[in-house]
Amino acid sequence: MASLKEVRNRIVSVSSTQQITKAMKMVSAAKLRRSQDAIMRMRPYAQRLSGILTNLSSMTEGAVDNQYAQKRDVNSVLIIAVTSDRGLAGAFNSNIVKGVMSLIQSKYSAQFDAGRVTILTIGRKGNDAFKKRGMNVISDYANLFGTLTFDEVRTAAERAMAGFVNREFDQVDLVYNEFKNVATQIVRQEQFLPIEEKPAEEVDASAMLVDYTFEPSKEEIILELIPKSLKIQVYKAVLESNASEHGARMTAMDKATENAGELIKELKLTYNRTRQAAITKEILEIVGGAEALAAK
């Protein structure tokens, strides 16, 4: 049985840990509110921009030479993996790593065996995890989450877009955590490039029936909107991941605080039992000594 001093030291240690996890939970809760507001504002904008682009594309009937929609044989692949810079967020980062590995196994096993799968990591944790696995990693996009802005994320999107246009990569996929609520984050695997055309039944027919006057031409508008829409898509994924990270960390720290509380209760019970056993032993020794003196 552990000594009273050892149990007392463990109680102090666990209590300190509990205070840290409680503080981290409160910090994550504050950050979550801001990041949740940001993604809620971005979602309608991104959806509306995508809808406008789809409707304009359907009106041109393929007249626009869209370099981001060119489909070719997939010999080399780029996967954009969005993780966090810090840990202590439960399975948040490991789920992205598993999602990327699952995507490679299911779709790109031949390209992976040939060494033609590259990972563009946004977030230090993903960078470290994939480098440990000996994979080809583009890792210039850590430390974005401290002051998360569109301009910081735009460079990552432009790197992927340039790689596709220059035929460095034949397909680009995006893997990230979508924010659903504080306790739930969904790993999403989306094709980023080439752009997938929506089926005709999904196009907003009412928008096509309206006679608009375009200035400049529809073709020029489309060519201007496509790069912007792609960058917004990556920015939205990073905002989703940022909100998911704070939700996951808040949940993890809440659970850690509860576990610390349970452990403190058990340690206090052990401490009291150990103390009671020590007192009982001392009393027995005193009684035994008194009886021995009386017998003499």
Show me where the domains of the chain are located.
4-20+256-295, 31-253
Q: Rounded to whole angstroms, what are the CA distances from 172 to 78, 86, 193, 238?
A: 5, 25, 5, 16
Q: CA 124, 130, 135 angle in degrees (round to 5)?
A: 135
How many other CB atoms are found less than 10 A from the CB of residue 180? Answer: 13
Nearest to 250 by CA among 54, 72, 33: 33
- DSSP letter at 180 equals E
Alpha carbon distance 192, 80 (integer Å): 9
How many other CB atoms are found less than 10 A from the CB of residue 141? Answer: 21
Q: What is the pLDDT of residue 296?
A: 65
Strand order in the sheet with 184-193: 136-141, 117-122, 77-82, 171-181, 184-193
87 phi, psi to nearest 5 deg? -95, -145
Q: What is the pLDDT of residue 212?
A: 59
Cβ 172 vs Cβ 80: under 8 Å: yes
Q: What is the pLDDT of residue 210?
A: 54
In sequence order, which ranges of 74-217 are alpha helices (DSSP H)?
Answer: 92-107, 109-113, 124-132, 150-165, 205-209
Options 3.40.1380.10, 3.30.450.20, 3.40.630.30, 3.40.30.10; CATH of 31-253: 3.40.1380.10
Q: What is the pLDDT of residue 231?
A: 92
pTM higher than 0.85 for the full model? no
Q: Give mean pLDDT in consecutive 10-residue pieces for the chain, a chain of 296 residues.
A: 82 93 92 89 85 66 71 93 91 94 94 94 92 88 83 90 93 94 90 75 52 69 83 93 93 93 92 86 80 73
